[in-house]
Amino acid sequence: MPAIGVLTLDIRLEDAHSLKDKRQVVRGLKDRLRHRFNVAVAEIDHQDLWQRAMIAAVTVSGDRAHADTVLQSVENEATSFLGASLVGTSVEWIE
């Protein structure tokens, strides 16, 4: 049975002064995560707020341990990219 892991990233962008500023950061993060970890990434909430974003990264694997490793790597990369702007994370499993 495949394991589907969903990592949710709650982001607060204090330095963003417009939706354009926010989109630049969000697009950069999404592109980086897609290319480095081959995960599906989407902005799932706060699209109309310029200092908040909610991003989800999803991976599918036949092995939950592998999926967990991938999501942990994604979280570490997001932390490195965003620093203090990453204010929360959560992981959900669909099995």
33: CB partners within 8 A, 6+ apart: 39, 41, 57, 74, 77, 78
Tokens of 86: 């990453």
pLDDT computed for residue 1 by the predictor: 82
| CATH 3.40.50.720, domain 3-94, yes or no | no
* pLDDT tens track, the chain, 95 positions: 899 999 999 999 999 999 999 999 999 999 999 999 999 999 999 999 999 999 999 999 999 999 999 999 999 999 999 999 999 999 999 97
Rounded CA separation 75/10 (Å):
11
What are the structural domain ranges in the chain?
A: 3-94
**Beta strand 52-61 with 40-45: parallel, antiparallel or unpaired?**
antiparallel
Which pTM does this prediction carry?
0.93
